[in-house]
């Protein structure tokens, strides 16, 4: 992995024997025990660990659910009711998996906004950031296919709508989109065949995710963690060993997060879902108001912002294609952020002008989420168009321009100075200081 | 922890406290108005009331079961903990005399046959399938009631700025009873149509139903079911009890879920505090 | 410097307690994940079966299903019952009755493997006690083994007319499930 060398010393003869043949303990020790971590990380940096937990928890509960679930049009809905009612602790495991998906996205969005605020995407962390965008995309695909599996009304129609997005390609080449959609469905409509293949892929993708996450962590350990000042680690006193310092903080963050998680699992298991999903899928009736799961709402709002005209500009037959392109573009544009941001400093903390735009962008995302949950009519569409415009302006105009014209406030010379003040006195621990607390 | 975080956390809690009275603003918006009811199983501490579930089953048995099935509930469920908990012997007798028989087979002659239900069998409605139901109900389909409380909800349309507060209010008070509120509103929402509204033939006016025209005629009136425990025989009680029963039918593990939930929350709270103190110890000699 | 010593102890205690709590929590979380694989409520509920034995004439056998397992029911002939009674129980490979309705150490007499007054009916779980194959001997043309009862073709276990293991690798007699006669010809298994 990274440039940091492990200080691992095997304590037993067997340990030494093993270390010479497979130095996995050496690697883990170097990467997760004495790895130098910036001393000034705040709780927002615990979300990486929380996300790892979420991924593992989803895989475990998912494997267990697959033991009881039947991926067929006639069996899916019934088998989930069977899990809820008859399987020992089935209600618990099913709630953990369903709520877990939402919690995964909560943590993921916090993680992304933390990265955006503190400039974690800037050199030398561009590849790390792009891997993150890939993780987000794979997560979304997994979540979407997983949402098919309960085979309720909302599920069925959301899948119909989402897969139909591909039919926008008909605008480019007549018949192309339709062909792709039918290929995805394995038929002329969403059916049990579609369900079965989505189940297979839903089981596969999390393991792909594990692979990309491993690369993400690898890339992280090459550059080292960013920190609230955005400064690099320049001297031993800037960092502390990962264990016990960062780890003790990570686990506090994780358990605080679990409090929220458990609240939803035990007291609000259906809050993040939709009542219509307790009706079995019916290919003949669409529910009056269909919305995706909350974590897709901002992107859904962007999709629907492209009606016949956009802020007065008539779109004509291109509306559908543009909506789809904008929706995917809204995610893909994240991958270009390392080059769109022209600022010399990483952390928004030292960027007096951009700071305002950052919070405006955060508000835009929330507003789009709200608009995505509303019917696509009247004033909601206008607002969705306004916020969609800002969403893209933020990346394409604000990021490059503000970075060029803004004068950052004075940066501390080092992380230590930021923490300890100008005098740079006090007890500065060295990077590999013995664990003072134990 | 940075000042920013402290401020964020503080404002979060302040907001949470402030939004409780704001629920009064919830009523604005369009669509049928459904009032929130007080349920024994509501909120984060609520549990089902066994006596109410028993009365509710009685209402289902005497009235609803004439048209509606309850096929995800098995007779054995009526005995189990967290539910109506009828004595096993009486449920066996009930199952054996349930008018809607179980189709079983094929027998030695190769024919399907009907047999009386037992504890492992589902509580069936009078119709074999949707087509038969529609044929007998003027084209309307009385849905199975096993999940009806979870499959319905109350749509609220608060203004955009009250929306986040109401949402947080529901999360903190753990409000999950939209379906029950709706069902109660529907069962008590029948009336003569207001002036100027004409109701189609065979339909009934109901203020809780979207569009106000419902194929189901008013199922419950005062005195329609004989209660054994002396509870007043009013429409209001019938609607409340049968809704509670159907809420249980949709979520039979609710009691257990909330009980375990409190144990887990307590454990997590204590552990989080311990870990936080431990973290402070670890970092005590390092300024950060 | 006593205060500092106390401080160190308390520090260690808090960290230890935190770790212990995490460990206990993780360990108790395992329970639901193990428990979910056990038979669920609907499976448990189906654990009784009622059968009418009237159509089973002397010398005939039927196979029923209970808890997903085959139940061998044979209406034995007089000769088969006599043959079973003649065996010296103490010399059997498995001298125990293996009857769920009787105490575990009752001897494997023919009477202990049937119901009083209905000795002609032998009712057993039809699963070889060796490795779970289904022995032959129910159908007319089947090989009934060296002792006129059942024969498991997988690894060559021979059972006699009371379903007791006589020869071959199986360690135990075929098991008798819990059942009762609820009328003259009807039984309830489970």
CATH number, domain of B68, equals 1.10.760.10
The pLDDT score that the predictor gives to residue A430 is 42
The pLDDT of residue C29 is above 60: yes
Structure confidence at residue C1 as a pLDDT band (50, 70, 90): very low
A41 and A134 in a single domain? The answer is yes
Do A239 and A152 reside in the same domain of the chain? yes
pLDDT in tens, chain B (288 residues): 455 555 555 555 444 444 433 333 333 344 678 899 999 999 999 999 999 999 999 999 999 999 999 999 999 999 999 999 999 999 999 999 999 999 988 877 899 989 899 899 999 999 999 999 999 998 999 999 999 999 999 988 888 889 999 999 999 999 999 999 999 999 999 999 999 888 988 899 999 998 899 999 999 999 999 998 899 999 999 999 999 999 999 999 999 999 999 999 999 999 999 999 999 999 988 877
Please give the structure tokens belonging to residue A423. 């005098």
What does the longest C-alpha to C-alpha distance in chain A come to? 76
**Cβ–Cβ contacts within 10 Å for residue A282, how many?**
12
Give CA separation, A349 vs A128, A190, A238, A360, B4, in Å. Answer: 22, 49, 18, 15, 11
Q: What is the DSSP letter of B80?
A: S
- What per-residue confidence (pLDDT) applies to C10? 59
> How many pairs of residues across B and C have Cβ atoms under 8 Å apart?
37
| Reported ipTM exceeds the 0.95 cut | no
- Identify whether A13 is part of a domain: no
Look at residue B15 and tell me if it is in a domain. Answer: no
CB distance C47 to C178 below 8 Å? no
Of C11, C44, C155, C186, catalytic = C155
B208, with CB counted inside 10 A (0-12, 13-18, 19+), is buried
Residues of A in contact with B12 (CB under 8 A): none
Q: Which tokens belong to A238? A: 């800037």
Domain range for B96 is 50-166+177-268
In a domain, B124, yes or no: yes
Residue B171 lies in a domain: no
Q: Are residues A106 and A247 in the same domain?
A: yes
Residues 6+ apart with CB under 8 A from B178: A275, B152, B153, B154
A263 and A129, same structural domain?
yes
Do A64 and A35 belong together in one domain? yes
Specify the residue for token string 């971590």: A37
- Encode pLDDT of C120-130 as tens digits: 999 999 999 99
What does residue C92 show for φ and ψ, rounded to 5 degrees? Answer: -75, 150
CA-to-CA distance for A347 and A351, rounded, in angstroms? 7
Is residue C69 a contact partner of residue C178, using CB atoms and an 8 Å limit? no
A234 and A305 housed in the same domain: no
With vertex at residue B203, the alpha carbon angle to CA B198 and CA B204, rounded to the nearest 5 degrees, is: 80
Is residue A278 assigned to a domain? no
Q: Which residues of C touch A (CB under 8 A)?
A: 11-12, 15, 18, 22, 32-33, 35-38, 40-43
**pLDDT averaged over every residue in chain C:** 88
Give the gyration radius of chain A's Cα atoms: 24
Residue B102 in any domain: the answer is yes
Please judge whether A266 and B265 are an interchain contact, meaning their C-beta atoms are less than 8 angstroms apart: yes
Within a domain: residue A437? no
Phi, psi of B223 (to 5 degrees): 70, 15
Same domain, A228 and A172: yes
Same-domain status, A173 and A36: yes
Task: Answer whether residue A19 is part of any domain.
Answer: no
Neighbours of chain C (3+ CB pairs under 8 A): A, B
- CA B51 vs. chain centroid, Å, equals 16
Q: Which residues pair with C189 in a beta bridge?
A: C49, C179
Same domain, A173 and A245: yes
User: Does B29 fall in a domain?
Assistant: no
Question: How many domains in chain B?
Answer: 1
- Report d(CA A72, CA C48) in Å as an integer: 30
Do A244 and A349 lie in one domain? The reply is: no
Predicted pLDDT at C44? 83
CA–CA gap between residue A63 and residue B177 (Å, rounded): 31
Instruction: Name the residue among A91, A267, A278 with its Cβ closest to that of B253.
Output: A91
| B72 φ/ψ angles, rounded to the nearest 5 degrees | -90, -5
B257 touches chain A (CB under 8 A): yes
State the CATH number of the domain containing residue A40.
1.20.810.10
Taking the whole predicted model, whether its pTM rises above 0.95 is answered as: no
- What are the pLDDT digits (tens) for A309-345? 899 899 888 888 999 999 999 999 999 999 999 999 9
Phi, psi at residue C121, to the nearest 5°?
Answer: -90, 120
CA C29 to chain centre: 32
Task: Return the structure tokens found at C114.
Answer: 């049937």
- Domain presence at residue B38: no
pLDDT band at C140 (very low <50, low <70, confident <90, very high): confident
Helix axes C2-35 and A247-267, enclosed angle (nearest 10): 40
For chain A, residues with pLDDT lower than 50 are 1, 424-438
- A297 and A265 part of one domain: no
Please give the Cα distance from B53 to B30 (Å, whole number): 33
Query: Is C158 part of the annotated catalytic residue set?
Result: no
User: Is A48 part of any domain?
Assistant: yes
Tokens of A200: 């297979």
**Nearest C-alpha in C relative to B267:** C25
Which of A57, A66, A4 has its CA nearest to residue A35?
A4
- pLDDT of residue C3 exceeding 70, the answer is no
- Chain C contact for B267 (CB, 8 A cutoff): yes
Q: How far apart are CA A35 and CA A37, in angstroms?
A: 6
Residue A178 sits in the same domain as residue A44: yes
Three-state SS string across chain A, please? CCCCCCCCCCCCHHHHHHHHHCCHHHHHHHHHCCCEEECCCCHHHHHHHHHHHHHHHHHHHHHHHHCCCCCCCCCHHHHHHHHHHCCCCHHHHHHHHHHHHHHHHHHHHHHHHHHHHCCCCCCCCHHHHHHHHHHHHHHHHHHHHHHHCCCEHHHHHHHHHHHHHHHHHHHCCCCHHHHHHHHHHCCCCCCHHHHHHHHHHHHHHHHHHHHHHHHHHHHHHHHCCCCCCCCCCCCHHHEEEHHHHHHHHHHHHHHHHHHHHHHHHHHCCCCCCCHHHHCECCCCCCCCCCCCCHHHHHHHHHHHHCCCEECCEECHHHHHHHHHHHHHHHHHHHHHHHHHCCCCCCCHHHCCCHHHHHHHHHHHHHHHHHHHCCCCCCHHHHHHHHHHHHHHHHHHHHHHHHHHHCCCCCCCCCHHHHHHCCCCCCCCCCCCCCCCCC
Domain membership flag for residue B157? yes
Considering the domain boundaries, does residue A152 fall inside one? Answer: yes
Distance CA B67, CA B125 (A): 6
The pLDDT tens digits of the residues spanning A116-136 come to 999 999 999 999 999 999 999
Residue A161 belongs to what domain range?
Answer: 30-273
Q: Which chains touch B (3 or more CB pairs under 8 A)?
A: A, C
In a domain, B161, yes or no: yes
Please name which of B26, B86, B24 lies closest in space to residue B51, comparing C-alpha atoms.
B86
Give the number of domains in chain A: 2
């Amino acid at each position: 992995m990274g440039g940091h060398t492990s200080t691992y010393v095997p304590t037993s003869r067997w340990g030494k024997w093993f270390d010479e043949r497979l130095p996995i303990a050496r690697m883990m020790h170097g990467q997760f025990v004495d790895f130098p971590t910036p001393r000034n990380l705040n709780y927002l940096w615990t979300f990486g660990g929380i996300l790892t937990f979420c991924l593992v928890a989803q895989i475990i509960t998912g494997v267990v659910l697959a033991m009881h679930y039947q991926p067929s049009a006639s069996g899916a809905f019934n088998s989930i009711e069977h899990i809820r009612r008859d399987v020992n602790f089935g209600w618990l495991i099913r709630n953990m998996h369903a709520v877990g998906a939402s919690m995964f996205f909560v943590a993921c969005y916090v993680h992304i906004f933390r990265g955006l605020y503190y400039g974690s995407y800037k050199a030398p962390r561009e590849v790390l950031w792009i891997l993150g965008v890939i993780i987000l995309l794979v997560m979304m695909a997994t979540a979407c296919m997983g949402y098919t599996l309960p085979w309720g009304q909302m599920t069925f129609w959301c899948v119909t709508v989402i897969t139909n997005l591909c039919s926008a390609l008909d605008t480019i080449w007549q018949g192309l989109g339709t062909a792709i959609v039918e290929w995805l469905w394995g038929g002329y409509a969403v059916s049990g065949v579609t369900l079965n293949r989505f189940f297979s892929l839903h089981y596969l993708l999390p393991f792909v995710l594990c692979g990309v996450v491993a690369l993400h962590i690898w890339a992280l350990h090459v550059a080292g963690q960013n920190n609230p000042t955005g400064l690099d680690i320049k001297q031993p006193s800037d960092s502390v060993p990962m264990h016990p310092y960062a780890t003790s903080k990570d686990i506090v963050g994780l358990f605080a997060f679990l409090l929220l998680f458990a609240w939803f699992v035990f007291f609000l298991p259906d809050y993040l879902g939709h009542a219509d999903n307790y009706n079995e899928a019916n290919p003949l009736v669409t529910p009056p108001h269909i919305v995706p799961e909350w974590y897709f709402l901002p992107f859904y709002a962007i999709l629907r912002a492209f009606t016949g005209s956009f802020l007065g500009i008539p779109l004509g037959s291109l509306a559908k294609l543009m909506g789809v392109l904008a929706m995917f573009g809204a995610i893909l544009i994240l991958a270009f952020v390392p080059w769109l941001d022209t600022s010399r400093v990483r952390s928004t903390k030292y960027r007096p002008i951009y700071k305002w735009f950052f919070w405006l962008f955060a508000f835009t995302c929330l507003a789009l989420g709200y608009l995505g949950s509303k019917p696509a009519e009247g004033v909601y569409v206008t607002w969705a168009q306004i916020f969609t415009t800002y969403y893209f302006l933020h990346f394409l105009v604000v990021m490059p321009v503000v970075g060029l014209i803004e004068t950052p406030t004075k940066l501390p010379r080092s992380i230590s100075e930021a923490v300890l003040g100008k005098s740079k006195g006090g007890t500065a621990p060295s990077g590999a200081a013995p664990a003072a607390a134990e | 922890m940075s000042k920013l975080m402290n401020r964020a956390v503080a404002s979060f809690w302040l907001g949470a406290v402030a939004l409780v009275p704001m629920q009064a603003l919830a009523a604005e918006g369009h669509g049928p108005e459904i009032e929130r009811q007080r349920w024994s199983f509501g909120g984060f501490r609520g549990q089902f009331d066994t006596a109410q579930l028993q009365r509710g089953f009685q209402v289902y048995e005497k009235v609803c079961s004439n048209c509606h099935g309850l096929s995800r509930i098995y007779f054995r469920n009526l005995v189990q903990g967290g539910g109506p908990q009828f004595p096993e012997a009486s449920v066996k007798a009930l199952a054996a005399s349930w008018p809607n028989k179980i189709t079983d087979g094929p027998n030695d002659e190769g024919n399907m046959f009907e047999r009386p239900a037992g504890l492992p069998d589902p509580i069936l409605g009078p119709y074999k399938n949707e087509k038969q139901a529609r044929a007998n109900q003027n084209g309307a389909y009385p849905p199975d009631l096993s999940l009806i409380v979870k499959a319905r909800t109350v749509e609220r349309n608060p203004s955009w700025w009250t929306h986040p507060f109401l949402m947080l209010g529901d999360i903190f008070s753990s409000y999950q009873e939209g379906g029950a509120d709706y069902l109660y509103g529907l069962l008590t929402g029948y009336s003569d149509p207001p002036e100027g509204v004409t109701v189609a033939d065979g339909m009934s006016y109901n203020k809780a139903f979207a569009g106000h025209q419902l194929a189901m005629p008013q199922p419950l009136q005062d005195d329609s079911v004989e209660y054994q425990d002396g509870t007043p025989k009013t429409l209001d009680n019938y609607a409340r009890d049968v809704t509670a029963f159907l809420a249980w039918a949709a979520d039979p593990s609710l009691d257990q879920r909330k009980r375990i939930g409190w144990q887990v929350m307590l454990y997590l709270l204590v552990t989080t505090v311990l870990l936080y103190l431990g973290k402070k110890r670890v970092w005590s000699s390092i300024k950060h | 410097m006593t205060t500092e010593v106390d401080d160190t102890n308390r520090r260690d205690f808090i960290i230890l307690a935190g770790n212990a709590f995490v460990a206990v929590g993780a360990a108790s979380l395992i329970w639901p994940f193990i428990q979910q694989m056990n038979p669920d409520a609907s499976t448990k509920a189906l654990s009784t079966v009622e059968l009418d034995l009237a159509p089973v004439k002397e010398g005939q056998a039927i196979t029923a299903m209970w808890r997903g397992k085959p139940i061998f029911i044979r209406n034995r002939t007089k000769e088969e019952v006599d043959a079973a009674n003649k065996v010296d129980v103490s010399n059997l490979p498995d001298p125990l009755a293996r009857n769920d309705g009787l105490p575990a150490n009752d001897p494997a007499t023919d009477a202990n493997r049937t119901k009083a007054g209905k000795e002609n009916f032998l009712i057993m779980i039809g699963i070889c006690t060796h490795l779970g194959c289904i022995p032959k001997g129910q159908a007319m043309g089947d090989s009934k083994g060296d002792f006129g009862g059942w024969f498991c073709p997988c690894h060559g276990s021979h059972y006699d007319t009371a379903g007791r293991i006589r020869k071959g690798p199986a360690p135990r007699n075929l098991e008798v499930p819990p059942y009762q006669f609820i009328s003259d010809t009807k039984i309830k298994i489970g």
